[in-house]
Amino acid sequence: MDSRKLAQRCRELADEKKAEDIVVLDVRKLSSVTDYFVLASGLSDPHLRAVVQEVEVQLKRDGIPAHAVDGSPAGGWVVLDYFDVIVHVMRADVRAHYDLEGLWNDAPRVRPRSARSRKSR
């Protein structure tokens, strides 16, 4: 799976667990570390845990284990590292404080795939 499709898959998995304000940033031209950031907000520690678990478990089933997982729901921020895609799941207050969208404001946002194209995968 290429990095763009992986980022889209992460977005869809986070959305299945009702993550809020999901954004995919294309940082390929701005960073040598990764291709995409996926940013998502959760409402509570259990919600963060559910979103992280959904992404991690489903991708592992797809044969794509996380290279690393850092942070904790209790800290308000969990990072899943898939090399070419880094997923940040945060409480809204933590997300606002660190403002990754502002920090990476030169990165284009990737639009969600349409429901029709998701069905055909």
List the Cα angle 56/58/60 in 5-degree steps: 65
The pLDDT score that the predictor gives to residue 23 is 97
Beta partners for residue 81, in sequence order: 68, 86
In angstroms, what CA-CA distances link 116 with 112, 119, 120, 121? 11, 5, 7, 9
pTM of the model: 0.91
Which CATH superfamily includes the segment(s) 3-111?
Beta Polymerase, domain 2 (3.30.460.10)
- Per-residue pLDDT at 121: 47
**Quick one: pLDDT at residue 115?**
53
| Per-residue pLDDT at 92 | 95
Instruction: Find the helix or strand (DSSP H, E) in which 69 lies.
Output: strand 68-72
List the structure tokens of 86. 């880094």
Instruction: Split the chain (121 residues) into runs of 10 and give each run's mean pLDDT.
Output: 96 97 97 96 96 98 97 96 98 96 95 61 47
